[in-house]
Amino acid sequence: MNDPLILTFDFGTQSLRCALVNKKGEIEGIIKKPYSPLYNSPKKGYAEQDPDYYWNFAVDALKELSKKYKDKLDRIIGSTITTFRDSSVYLDKDLKPIRPMILWLDQRTNEAKEPLPLLHKIAFALVGMTDTIVLNRKRTSAHWLKENEPENWKRVHKYVNISSYLVYKFTGKLCDSVASVTGHYPINFKARKWYKEGALKGRIFGVPSKMLCELKQPGEVLGLIKDEIADECGLPKGIKLYATGSDKGCETIGLGALNRDTAAISYGTACTVEVSNQKYYEPEKFLPAYPAAVPNWYNMEVQIYRGYWMIPWFYSQFATKLVDEAKLQEMSIEQLLNDRLKDIP
DSSP codes of every residue in 196-211: PTT-TTGGGG---GGG
DSSP characters over 256-271 = T--STT-EEEEESSSE
Of 79, 83, 68, the closest CA to residue 30 belongs to 68
Beta strands 5-11 and 76-83 are parallel
Return the DSSP state at 97: B
pLDDT tens-digit map of 10-36: 999 999 999 999 999 999 999 999 999
Confidence of residue 305 (pLDDT cuts 50, 70, 90): low
Here the contacts of 286-290 (C-beta below 8 Å, separation 24 or greater) are 286/129, 286/132, 288/189, 288/190, 289/189, 289/190, 290/179, 290/182, 290/189, 290/246, 290/249
Confidence of residue 2 (pLDDT cuts 50, 70, 90): confident
Q: What are the chain's domains?
A: 5-108+157-245 (3.30.420.40), 310-341 (no CATH)
pLDDT of 334 reads 81
Contact between residue 277 and residue 289 where contact means Cβ atoms under 8 Å apart: yes
pLDDT of 132 reads 87
Average pLDDT over residues 287-306: 88
pLDDT of 53 reads 98
pLDDT tens-digit map of 110-132: 998 888 999 998 998 988 889 88
Contact between residue 337 and residue 319 where contact means Cβ atoms under 8 Å apart: yes
Give the HSE-up count for residue 126: Cα atoms under 13 Å, Cβ half-sphere. 6
User: Would the pTM count as exceeding 0.85?
Assistant: yes
Q: Which of 5-19, 173-187, 206-220, 317-331 is predicted with the least confidence, judged by mean pLDDT?
A: 317-331
Confidence of residue 156 (pLDDT cuts 50, 70, 90): very high
pLDDT tens-digit map of 224-278: 999 999 999 999 999 999 999 999 999 999 989 988 899 998 877 778 889 999 9
Average pLDDT over residues 281-301: 91
Confidence of residue 69 (pLDDT cuts 50, 70, 90): very high
pLDDT of 306 reads 66
Share of the chain above pLDDT 70, in %: 98
